Amino acid sequence: MTTRVSVVEDILSANDKLAASNRARLDAAGVFAINLMASPGAGKTSLITRTVEALKDEFRIGAVDGDIATTLDADRIAAVGIPTVQINTGGECHLDAVMFQSALPSLPLDDLDLLIIENVGNLICPASFKLGVHASVLIASVPEGDDKPYKYPVMYRGVDAVVLNKMDVLAAFDFDVDYFRQGVEVLNPGLAFFPLSCKTGEGLDAWLAWLRNEVRKYVSGDSGAHS
Ligand code: MG
Ligand code: ZN
């Protein structure tokens, strides 16, 4: 048992070192990177396409899409007209720093301001594997239920913002936004919180304003959130 635990610790510490080197590479090129995490179906790809459509005239944006087997999401993102690299994890349920490193040479880093990473849909291990990004964002969605911060505390503790997607269907679900938010607040006080709908566009402006501000702070050298 003891041996097994220390192996896991070694893997994570090797991952952390590689994440730091990924981060240095991004910083050398002046690219602000965000890691989007969520359970499957919460709307990661939809938030990315919405965000790119809104900000692509302001920033040079690229994407990395992690998926267990298909290129469906990467194809949707590439269709919005930005450089997109697909990482097929071959069944792994998260991205790690090695996979992210392997994607970097395929991206025009010197010509990007913002890199958006779509992690594999999973609320557990993506929280343990740093990639070397500047901010991490968790996307929850109304149909998943309002108890998720209570059930997946590690994920909620490690992020810089929470998006609550699919607000357009709130009336059809037994979802208490205040209860959800209290759960988030206990784990991560003062966390930026954006209830929105990628379908209707409601609430997207506040999310876009936050992201725009983070990228601008970074580009101007006054670095913001770190994770
Ligand atoms: Mg997706
Ligand atoms: Zn995993």
CATH number of the 9-216 domain: 3.40.50.300
Residue 198's Cβ-side half-sphere holds a number of Cα atoms within 13 Å equal to 20
Q: How far is the CA of 198 from the centre of ligand 1 (A)?
A: 13
- Of the ligands numbered here, which is closest to the C-alpha atom of 95? 2
Q: Which residues contact 227 (CB under 8 A, 6 or more apart)?
A: 35, 130, 133, 134, 135, 136, 158, 159, 160
Q: pLDDT tens digit string along 46-67? A: 999 999 999 999 999 999 999 9
Q: pLDDT tens digit string along 134-185? A: 999 999 999 999 999 999 999 999 999 999 999 999 999 999 999 999 999 9
Residue extents of the structural domains in the chain: 9-216
CA–chain centroid gap for 85, Å, is 15
Distance CA 34, CA 42 (A): 17
pLDDT value at position 6? 77
pTM for this entry: 0.93
Q: How far is the CA of 28 from the centre of ligand 2 (A)?
A: 29
Q: How far is the CA of 2 from the centre of ligand 1 (A)?
A: 37
- Of the ligands numbered here, which is closest to the C-alpha atom of 124? 2
- Of the ligands numbered here, which is closest to the C-alpha atom of 139? 1
